[in-house]
Structure 1
Amino acid sequence: MINRVSALVALLLISAVSFAQSLNQTDAAGKRHGLWKGTYEKSKRARYEGTFDHGKETGTFKFFEDNKTSTLAATRVFAADGSCITTFFDEKGKKVSEGKEVNKLREGEWKFYDAKTEKLLSTEPYLNGKINGVRKVYFANGAVAEEAAYANGVKQGAYKQYTEKGIVLEESTYKNDKMDGPATFRNAHGEVVSKGQFANNIKTGKWEFFEKGKKAREEDMTNKKVQLARKERKN
């Protein structure tokens, strides 16, 4: 019995040594090959693990938080072309976002989730790591709450805000992340409250104001700003 136990222990030791020798290896060209496991420098806890094929990531890579339980922080599932589907998790293991990466830059549609409810919060279209297209934000019931056009990572173009019932509360225009152009604001019943123009995030020109769906008054916002500036100079 003792000899059998000794033999098993020896076998386990040999297996452990063999496994250790098969980790973090490189090929003849010095490229990573086979299973690799990385650790945090100070804590020596697991940082990542995944398999390389002559320097190229393949299959699923896992990334861990630097804590006692080595909580899973993210996964990357690699395709043959080198792109990957990346998923991020919170400290409780709940999915918070997912999408495609090409050369470590976000590409295509990314989805973001409420970790508590696991419901979709927003979607963002990416091109070369920057938002390009219409970003959408959702209510808990799945209805669209906001739509904003982006170009090269900044708000550029039409913006809309909705109620949960689909009524448009705001229609405005953005240029370089600032309100610039026509804008219309409505109440929860869909009635126009005000409309006019913005320039560089500031109301300008003639604005129309409505009460119960009917035009109540007009104000020249440009002159209003000039008059205010004159008052400030006098004071």
Structure 2
Amino acid sequence: MRRFIIIFLVLPYLLSAQINQTDANGLRQGHWEKRQDNGRLIYEGDFKDGKPVGEWKRYHPGGQLKAIISYRGDTAHTRLFDVWHKKLTEGNYVNQKKQGVWKIYDKNELLTADEEFVDGVKNGVAHQYFDTGEVMEKSHWKNGKKDGAYEVFYKDGQAYLQCKMKEGQRHGLFLVFYENGQPEREGAYVNGLRDGEWKFYDPEENYSYSLFYDKGKILNPQVRDSIDNLKIQELEKNKNMLADPEKFMNDPSEYMRKSKMFR
């Protein structure tokens, strides 16, 4: 009986002596963990020859699971969670840099976006999704900036906006469409500034008016002001139904979220 009591008392110390160990060469080996002053875990996992292996876990200050990291060679597949254990994002680190496709989720664990990375920098194709799964936005990235084709879609897949990007700025042809597929406006940007003639159409594809720009400066403001007054009157009559897309040209996907017809 006395021997059992001694083993029971000594066992915790023997177990604690087997964690956070280094070998004769100073390399971390075996199980490692770190705790807060109150005893709650900060992280735990295993090392082999100084490198993390297998499954590691990190925790929020309150003790809830924060991350599960699965190591395989230089690749670490990572899943991040909020304090309610809802998945926020997942993807791979390679040599501690984001690599490949990373997925982003909302509080209900629905996929809201995905992004491609090369050596920790956003490169490739990125998407944003409606809460029902359809693609809302598709963009191309180069060295951390939007570069190339940029598109925003209606829920049925019809194009809402199409343009070209260059080093994070709109540059080139710019098109906006009504839900019926007819053009709503067409123009061009030069280094992020409206330039040249911008044509506007009604939903039946009838030409309405043009605005003219010189590197961002409007050349016929009286036409714009006249149209703005008409828009204000129309929006006031339908203020509980319509969102003015012009106010969302710098963030067209936000227009999709706020426009009543997409709720």
TM category (shorter chain) comes to: 0.7 to 0.9
* In 1: Cα distance, 2:50 partner to 2:66 partner: 23
1:14 aligns with 2:7: no
Higher strand share: 1
1:51 aligns with 2:46: yes
Structure 1 unpaired stretches of 5+: 230-235
* In 2: Cα distance, 1:156 partner to 1:58 partner: 37
Which residue in the other structure is 2:214 paired with? 222
Task: Say which SS state the counterpart of residue 214 (structure 2) adopts.
Answer: helix
Distance apart, 1:130 and its partner CA? 1.1
**What pairs with 1:108-187 in structure 2 (closer than 5 Å)?**
108-115=100-107, 117-187=108-178
- Of 19, 24, 37, 1:23 maps to 19
Q: Closer, same or farther in 2 for the Cα pair 1:226/1:144, shift >3 Å?
A: closer
The residue type paired with residue 120 of structure 2 is: G
Cα displacement string for residues 204-232 of structure 1 (whole angstroms, at most 9, x for unaligned residues): 11111111212233332229826589xxx
Task: Say which SS state the counterpart of residue 221 (structure 1) adopts.
Answer: strand
Distance apart, 1:101 and its partner CA? 0.4
Which stretches of structure 1, 4 residues or longer, exceed 3 Å deviation after superposition?
6-9, 42-45, 226-229
Q: Closer, same or farther in 2 for the Cα pair 1:122/1:223, shift >3 Å?
A: closer
Task: Say which SS state the counterpart of residue 17 (structure 2) adopts.
Answer: helix
* In 2: Cα distance, 1:207 partner to 1:149 partner: 25
8 Å CA contact 1:182, 1:196 repeated in 2:
yes
Task: Say which SS state the counterpart of residue 30 (structure 1) adopts.
Answer: coil
| Count of residue pairs brought into register by the alignment | 220
8 Å CA contact 2:194, 2:216 repeated in 1:
no
Task: Say which SS state the counterpart of residue 190 (structure 1) adopts.
Answer: coil
8 Å CA contact 1:43, 1:66 repeated in 2:
no
RMSD: 1.9
Cα displacement string for residues 137-188 of structure 1 (whole angstroms, at most 9, x for unaligned residues): 1112211000011001111111100111111000011112111111100122
195-204 vs 46-55, which moves further = 195-204
* In 2: Cα distance, 1:12 partner to 1:89 partner: 37
Which residue in the other structure is 2:239 paired with? none
Q: Closer, same or farther in 2 for the Cα pair 1:18/1:56, shift >3 Å?
A: same
- Of 49, 61, 76, 1:66 maps to 61
8 Å CA contact 1:48, 1:61 repeated in 2:
yes
The residue type paired with residue 59 of structure 1 is: G
